[in-house]
Structure 1
Amino acid sequence: MRAIVSHPPAKPSALESLALASFKSIVTGRDIEEIAQRMGSKDDVLALHQRATAPVGTTTASGFASQLMQTAFGQYLATLQGSAAARIISLGMSVPMGRSDGFAAPTRNTAPATLPWVGESAPIPVRTFDFQGLTLTPKKMAAISVLSRELAKRAGGEAAVRQMLREDGEVALDAAYFSATSESASDHPGLLEGLTAINGYGGGDLQAFQEDISAILTVIGPRNSGSIVYVTGMATVERIALKFPDFRGTVLGSQAVADTTLIGVDAGNLVHSFGDFDIDTSTSATVHMSDTPAEIVADNGTVADPTRSVFQTDCVAIRIIGDLAFGQRKADTVAVVENITW
């Protein structure tokens, strides 16, 4: 059985549609309502454009867990089907974003009750839910894309812009999610933060593959949620399908993970929270065209290079900013094997 999860086309999110409508509005001079109408997403786009509040999930509504992903930023991340992180997020718990300086997320400090039967007048077993053990501190994710005015007017331009926004979002999300970065004033800790990597089993054969999987399960297998997934590089995903077609585990590929790395994640024991977002478009900004941007002119007079004036080059800059927080509801939810040989 092929264990690789396919990437079905995702329906455009409201945030993505708003970004496209804002882009086309600024380059064509047409009203955003007219553009949204043509795109077939008028109500969603206008609600977000006017900063309407998304409905809050309730325990009486169907699909309670999914409805907690109530903000447009969370919905946008869910459409990034080329992102392994987005696929994992959809399997975990989602809770409303709390205070910007940190908020408590639900965790367990004991195993679920194992004995449901209680005798007459006998005490009922008690299990404690801990709402203080995991503090989620939201961090800001942001990106700027610069696109030409001609692209917006060209046939197929909308599809090209949509695809580029998704690709940028997929790589950026995965790079942050599967990192070993420690928490700082600006950075969210990655899933691999603080982990000691398991060294891959030698030999490069089926036994090596099985030993690496077993090593991961030794860590994350006990009391797992039943939603274990494995993440590795894109080429290794295909290699697993070719060399080990009988493997029944769920394997996700990520452009942000090395082909010599295998990450095991108990996705059901992760918790995520999505906050507010901002979308801005500009035809007059000056931006530093770099993945490691700097101030255009630093305090010491250093000028960033290369820079672009979107006004002078007849381009449009689209900026998307959103808040995200995530963490583990129990210990030993993630394990990583480095230097795999198969």
Structure 2
Amino acid sequence: MLGFTTKAATAPATTTATGWAAELVQTATLDLIEQLVGKSIYPILRDIGGRFTFGRNGVVSLPSRSSGTSVAGSFVGQSAPIPVRQAAFSSTPLTPKKMAVITTLTREIAEHSTPDIEQVLRQAIQDDTSVAIDTVLMDAGAATTVRPAGLHNGVTPVTAATGGDFTALVKDLKALVAALITSSAGNIRQPVWILNPVQVLSISLTQNGGGDFPFAADLNNGTLLSYPIAASATVPLGTVALVDAADFFTATGDEPRFDVRDQATLHMEDTSPQPIAVAGTPSAVSAPVRSMFQTDRSR
């Protein structure tokens, strides 16, 4: 009997070689990596400004003095007539506005997901909604029955000084402070800067003629010209705003509320959702429509 041995080139088992050990590699799903969502400016202004509660009321009226009138006293002589003056008041009505969103998940993913899909979606809704609130807050849209007015509504932007140097920066800051003083008839109480973190860095690195960084120490303390800063990546680049937070009012109950239901019928549309059906000639039925109960989903 003749014995012999054959030899051939072989490869070691690796985690990537299909058919040779790759199938043995297990997958572990760790906690979700936190999304890098910019800090919202809304809670900063809310905490500095005024807060009220609607309670059972559908409208809250905020009274204010009209700046064109005065009931100031005057020096008068003895036995001389005292001036009689009349004050004028106005009011700003505030009505509740609602933000809402629906997302769906199957029962299977809810029971077996790691991390828990419901908690992941709740956090994602809060993160994305904070960005959506800031987007509306910083625009120039007027108030409607659906949304509040943006901070830039009815505001004439201050033209930036040319040059981009320290002198131009000082001119811009002075112009913004002057504009706020003028619009409030000289009565500013809780001024707050609103700007992008890029602008915070740019201001802190701006040198004067002597090579110093005059604003760096102030910015490190979270202020600019002693006014607090609300910095967020949700603020458009190049935008620097100065608002009086004492005139920024919010209502208690602005915390998010989550409802979970497994019996609902939804028009699966993310831009222009419509009623499920509208009577007419002919009647209109939205599509696509899904039954959460029939498809064993929850929303």
Q: TM-score, normalised by structure 2?
A: 0.59
Aligned partners of 2:104 and 2:203: how far apart in 1? Answer: 37
Structure with greater strand share of residues:
1
Which of these two proteins has the greater Rg computed from alpha carbons? 2
Q: 1:215 pairs with 175, 181, 197, which one?
A: 175
Q: Are 1:171 and 2:131 counterparts? A: yes
Report the CA distance shift for 1:272/1:113 in structure 2 as closer, same or farther (over 3 A): farther
Report the CA distance shift for 1:127/1:171 in structure 2 as closer, same or farther (over 3 A): farther
Q: How does 1:230-245 map to 2 (within 5 A)?
A: 230-243=193-206, 244-245=215-216
* Aligned pairs, number: 224
Report the more deviating stretch, 85-94 or 105-114.
Answer: 105-114
Q: Are 1:295 and 2:262 counterparts? A: no
Q: Offset at 1:114?
A: 10
Structure with greater helix share of residues:
1
* Partner residue, 1:282: 261
* Partner residue, 2:3: none
Q: Offset at 1:267?
A: 0.8
* Partner residue, 1:140: 98
Is contact 2:38–2:232 with CA below 8 Å preserved after alignment? no
Report the more deviating stretch, 236-245 or 175-184.
Answer: 236-245
Report the more deviating stretch, 229-238 or 296-305.
Answer: 296-305
Q: Offset at 1:196?
A: 1.3
Report the CA distance shift for 1:269/1:289 in structure 2 as closer, same or farther (over 3 A): same
- Give structure 1 stretches of 5+ with no counterpart: 1-79, 116-122, 318-342
Q: How does 1:149-160 map to 2 (within 5 A)?
A: 150=109, 153-155=113-115, 157=117, 160=120
Q: Offset at 1:91?
A: 0.4
* Partner residue, 1:252: 230
- Give structure 2 stretches of 5+ with no counterpart: 1-36, 74-81, 207-214
Report the CA distance shift for 1:90/1:155 in structure 2 as closer, same or farther (over 3 A): same
Is contact 1:179–1:192 with CA below 8 Å preserved after alignment? yes
Q: 1:272 pairs with 250, 253, 256, which one?
A: 250
Report the 3-state secondary structure (helix = DSSP H, G, I; strand = E; otherwise coil) of the residue aligned with 2:102. strand
Aligned partners of 2:127 and 2:143: how far apart in 1? Answer: 25
Aligned partners of 2:118 and 2:43: how far apart in 1? Answer: 23
Identity percentage of aligned residues:
25
* Partner residue, 1:104: 61
Q: Using CA pairs under 8 Å that are at least 6 residues apart, name the structure with larger relative contact order, 1 or 2.
A: 1
* Partner residue, 1:93: 50
| CA RMSD of superposed structures (Å) | 4.0
